[in-house]
Every structure is written in C-alpha cells, then in structure tokens.
Amino acid sequence: MYNVAIVGAGPAGIFTALEIMKLRPQWKVVLVEKGPKIEKRKCLLREGYEKCPGCKKCGLLCGWGGAGAFSDGKLTLTPDVGGHLVDYMPRKKVEDLIAYTDSVYLDFGATDEVFGLNREAFADLERQATLAELKLVHSPVRHLGTERSLGVLKSMQDYLDKKITILNDVSATSLIVENEQVKGFLTSDNQQIRAEYVVIAPGREGADWLTKEFDKNKIGMVSNAVDVGVRVELPAPVFEPITEKLYESKLIYHSPSFGDEVRTFCMNPYGEVVAENYNGIATVNGHSYGEADKRTRNTNFALLVSEKFTEPFKEPIAYGQHIARLANMLAGGILVQRFGDLLDGRRSTPERIKASTLVPTLGCATPGDLSLVLPYRQMTSIIEMLYALDKIAPGTASRYTLLYGVEVKFYSARVKLTNDLETEGVKNLYTIGDGAGVTRGLIQASASGVHVARIICGK
Ligand SMILES: Cc1cc2nc3c(=O)[nH]c(=O)nc-3n(C[C@H](O)[C@H](O)[C@H](O)COP(=O)(O)OP(=O)(O)OC[C@H]3O[C@@H](n4cnc5c(N)ncnc54)[C@H](O)[C@@H]3O)c2cc1C
C-alpha cells in the first residue's frame, strides 16, 4: 500500500515525486513508467536509421523524462505559453509556481542564461509584427538544449531512485475505483498497485489511453481546440532577426479567409526536425542542441491552426490521428513539401528537394503533396500565415521553405477537473501534464506536478 502512486515519468510525474519527497520524505511513493530508465532510452532514427521503424514504445516519447528527455529543453517562464494553469488558479499563483519549478531545474543543473528579458531589444520587432497583423507574445526562456535536458533529468532520476519505488517498463492498464474513490491501478505485468492517492501523468503519448480509461470510469472530458499544422524549416539567417532577440517567440495570426488562429510553436534555431511515433502514427516535432558544434544551418518551428468544433463532435484526438494517418498513408511516414511546389499545385520530388538551397534535416521524410492531406481550411490558413511572417522575416515564404506534415498535438481533450486538478467524480484521483490537456510544455507540466503534490501533502 503506497501513499501515492504516479503514472508516467515525464516532467509532470517527476515533479510530483520531487515535491512529495520534499514535503513528506517518509511517505511511500511509487512511480510507474512504461518506458526504460533514461540511460537506456534510444530513438533509432536519431541513431542513424533511415526511416522511423515505428517502435511499439516510441524511444523519443517513452521512458524516464517522457517527451522532455530529447526535447529542446526550452523552459518558457510565463503562464501565457505552454498550458492552461491559469484556468485553475490565480495568475500570481501560477507565476510563483513557475518561478519555484524553474529554481528546481536550476538545482538539478539547468543553465543560468535566460533569453528574452530585455524588452527594449525587441520593441522594434513588436512594432513590425503589429504592422504585419501579427501578435507577438514574448516569453522569457531558459534554454537547456537536448544534451543538458538529458543531464538534468538523469540527476532527478538518480536522486529519486534512492527515495521512491520506480517501476520502469511497466504500464498502468486500468484504474481500480471503488465507491467513487480511486484505490490504485492494475499494471501490464499483472501487479495490483494500491495507493491512497493516484496521479495520472501519461503525456500526449498516453492521452488516448487516459481518455478511454476515464470514459470507462465516467470521468467527464471537454474538448479543447484541435491543433493541426506543419513544421516549417528554413535557413537560420531568415529567422535570425527574431531568434537572436527572443529564443522562443509566439506569433499569433488570424487568417483573413477563415479568421482561424494560427500560431508559431516550439521554435528551434539551428535545430533539427524529428519524427515522433504515437502508437504507430508518425508526426513531426523539432529540437536543437545547446552545443555550438551540433548546430545545423536551419531553423524550424511549428505552425498550428486551432480549430474549435461544436457539438456533437467529441473526438479531437481521433480527428488529429486521422489527418496524421493520411500523411503516413501517402508518404509511408513523414511527408515533406517545398512551399513553392505547394503553391504551384504539384508534389515535391527528391529531385526538386535536391535542387533547393535548403537541405532537410529530417532526411527520412518523403517528398509529396500536403494539399492531399490537410483540409483546405487549415492549408489556406498556413499559407496566409507564411506570407504574414514573410513581412517580418523576409525569406519565410521562399519557394524553398520546407513544410513537414503533419504536426498535431494530442492534448485536445481536457479532463473535467477541480481547481486542485482532482477529477470530478472520482475522489483522490488527480491528473496533470499534457495528457490531461492541462499543459502543453515542460515548465507548466512540471509546475502542475508541484501543485498536486502540495495539495495531496496538505490533505
Ligand atoms: C522533440 C520534442 C521537443 C520538445 N521541446 C520542448 C521545448 O523546448 N519546450 C517545452 O516547453 N516543451 C517541449 N516539448 C514538449 C514537452 O516535452 C512536453 O510538454 C512535456 O514533456 C509534457 O510533460 P508530461 O509529463 O505531461 O508528459 P510526457 O513528457 O509525455 O511524459 C509522459 C510519460 O508517461 C508515460 N506513460 C504514458 N502512458 C503510460 C501508462 N499507461 N503507464 C505508464 N507510463 C505511461 C510515457 O512513457 C511518458 O514517459 C517537446 C517535445 C518533443 C517531443
């Protein structure tokens, strides 16, 4: 019998455990993670495989550190980016939580430097963005880079290994609920984990499992907007006017044709585009290294179109999966197209990509035609956004700019939660991080863990 059982060793689950050990060091805590320890994690694509082999448990997403392990490690130090925590508590409380969470990252070895603090330095950029009808949301960012992220998460693993029970390569399969109160869960290796409190933090990778499990237990979900789009890759100098001032900027645009919100997301100067595998569905993402010798010549970022659907629609995750599957069907994985080819109404071919000035960093992507994948509405909004960005970063709408498809965020279904992040309907069951639809990034996912740990320890 444990005091607390946690599902998922991503930032949300790890920070839950760290904070509980700080406040209640005598408590018995178990953390169940479907992937391996951090030192055993590997993504075959990152290690030179030509094509993503579609591992049963994606090496990029599963294991100690979750999606955070090979992430770009950008800690966006504001409540405005990376989650919805302000929907559950006053803004000041979220700011304090973020500051505290950031200090824990520093204790475990994060870099000192924070980008984007000097507002004067980007006042001109803000002005240019306004003229291009773009809204610039600036956020102070601590950038760890992928190698430092791995180091910080390994230190957390070493620290917690001595204090709690960590079960790697074990999945939570179904919740045990008695009289509307959680009692624990069953696991893939036929264990019954009993605990007073259960915290579910399975990330986007486990969002589908969470949705089905919660549905079974009649825990309500509400639909967030569905975020679908592409990852854009261009020569780093094109975006330098922006990235040299603000490592991560969020630029928001409302497409003239549809009025839909399009935004930049997860910017990686001198980075690499990477493939992720969500239970057999390949999607794109990006990251960069902190070390100068590992930098590429390209910058990448996502352009996501937010679509709000109305009743009776209730399957945002399935919608995103459907679009991603179309790209996979046509390309056998990730599809890439030059912007010029998209505008000319023709597919990209290996020859056309070779004849470009830009070398794709995701070599395994298959040249093809995105207009056969993305709905007209989202495709049009993306094209209009690229032209708007071209006004502040000339060269963005170049015919050589690469668009990888698709990028989709499986955090579209949000669990109905109290302000304590406890599920409505089942007592002592908490759910946090990206999988619950509460957050969308490292710092807020981690902060959501700190929040529930404090709530549980205060009970
Ligand atoms: C390539 C890449 C780059 C990124 N770069 C950034 C960035 O620079 N800045 C930023 O803010 N965010 C970034 N992100 C996003 C960030 O990594 C996530 O927002 C964050 O990791 C979410 O934390 P989480 O704990 O909610 O979930 P996750 O990190 O996804 O962790 C969930 C864990 O739960 C495990 N799990 C799932 N289901 C089960 C189950 N049934 N039983 C047991 N275990 C289970 C999974 O294996 C996983 O380890 C990036 C993501 C990727 C993939």
Do 426 and 387 fall within a single domain?
no
Look at residue 39 and tell me if it is in a domain.
yes
Look at residue 132 and tell me if it is in a domain.
no
Look at residue 389 and tell me if it is in a domain.
yes
- Determine the Cα–Cα distance for residues 317 and 215; give it in Å rounded to an integer: 14
Distance from the Cα of residue 450 to its chain's centroid = 19
Look at residue 122 and tell me if it is in a domain.
no
Nearest atom within ligand 1 for CA of residue 63: 49
The token duo for 436 is: 């619950």
Q: Got the DSSP string for 161-175?
A: HTTSEEETT--EEEE
Do 355 and 440 fall within a single domain?
no
* Å from CA of 64 to ligand 1 middle: 10
Most informative mutation of 14, 58, 64, 71 for ligand 1 (most atoms within 8 A of CB): 71
* Å from CA of 45 to ligand 1 middle: 18
Do 6 and 61 fall within a single domain?
yes
What are 9-37's pLDDT values in tens digits? 999 999 999 999 999 999 999 999 999 99
Determine the average pLDDT of the residues in 292-304. 92
What does the pLDDT read at residue 412? 60
pLDDT of 389 above 70: yes
Do 347 and 370 fall within a single domain?
yes
Identify the residue with better confidence: 365 or 221.
365
Q: Which of 372, 392, 409 is the last residue of a domain?
A: 409
Q: Which amino acid is residue 132, in one-letter code?
A: A
* Å from CA of 150 to ligand 1 middle: 13
Strand partners, 282: 277
Nearest atom within ligand 1 for CA of residue 274: 1
Please report how many Cα atoms fall inside a 13 Å half-sphere around the Cα of residue 239, on the Cβ side: 28
pLDDT of 220 above 80: yes
Do 103 and 154 fall within a single domain?
yes
* Å from CA of 127 to ligand 1 middle: 35
pLDDT of 209 above 90: yes
pLDDT of 302 above 70: yes
Look at residue 324 and tell me if it is in a domain.
yes
Residue of 307, 303, 317, 229 whose CA lies nearest to 266 = 303
- Determine the Cα–Cα distance for residues 412 and 385; give it in Å rounded to an integer: 22
Do 401 and 267 fall within a single domain?
yes
Do 190 and 297 fall within a single domain?
no
CB 389 within 8 A of CB 251: yes
- Determine the Cα–Cα distance for residues 33 and 15; give it in Å rounded to an integer: 14
Residue of 29, 68, 40, 43 whose CA lies nearest to 159 = 29
Residue labelled with tokens 């700019």: 401
Q: Which amino acid is residue 302, in one-letter code?
A: A
Q: Which of 375, 391, 409 is the last residue of a domain?
A: 409
What does the pLDDT read at residue 309? 81
Atom 46 of ligand 1, nearest CA residue: 62
Instruction: Decide whether any atom of ligand 1 lies within 6 Å of the 16 Cβ.
Output: no
* Å from CA of 244 to ligand 1 middle: 27
What are 390-439's pLDDT values in tens digits? 999 999 999 999 999 999 987 667 899 999 999 998 999 999 999 999 99
Q: How many domains does the chain have?
A: 2
What does the pLDDT read at residue 51? 79
pTM for this entry: 0.87
What does the pLDDT read at residue 117? 84
Look over the chain and give the mean of its residue pLDDT values, rounded to a whole number. Answer: 93
Look at residue 126 and tell me if it is in a domain.
no
Beta-carbon contacts of residue 170 (< 8 Å; ≥ 6 apart): 32, 33, 34, 187, 188, 189, 191
What does the pLDDT read at residue 373? 98
Determine the average pLDDT of the residues in 356-384. 97
Do 291 and 179 fall within a single domain?
no
Look at residue 193 and tell me if it is in a domain.
yes
What does the pLDDT read at residue 247? 77
Among the residue ranges 45-54, 118-127, 244-253, 282-291, the one predicted with the least confidence is 45-54
* Å from CA of 314 to ligand 1 middle: 24
Tally the residues of the chain.
459
Pairing, β 298-307 against β 261-268? antiparallel
Do 419 and 319 fall within a single domain?
no
Residue 55 CB burial class (10 angstroms; 0-12, 13-18, ≥19)? middle
Look at residue 134 and tell me if it is in a domain.
no
Determine the average pLDDT of the residues in 280-308. 90
Do 338 and 452 fall within a single domain?
no
Tell me how crowded residue 151 is: count the other CB atoms within 10 A of its CB.
17
Terminal CA-to-CA distance of the chain, rounded, Å? 18
Do 258 and 370 fall within a single domain?
yes
Atom 26 of ligand 1, nearest CA residue: 433
* Å from CA of 176 to ligand 1 middle: 24
Beta strands in 237-355 (DSSP E): 249-254, 261-268, 272-278, 281-287, 298-307, 335-338
Identify the residue with better confidence: 106 or 244.
106
Do 214 and 230 fall within a single domain?
no
Quote helix, strand, coil % in the chain, to nearest 5: 35, 25, 40
| CATH classification at residue 147 | 3.50.50.60
Domain that holds residue 385: 225-409
Most informative mutation of 81, 205, 451 for ligand 1 (most atoms within 8 A of CB): 205
- Determine the Cα–Cα distance for residues 7 and 80; give it in Å rounded to an integer: 27
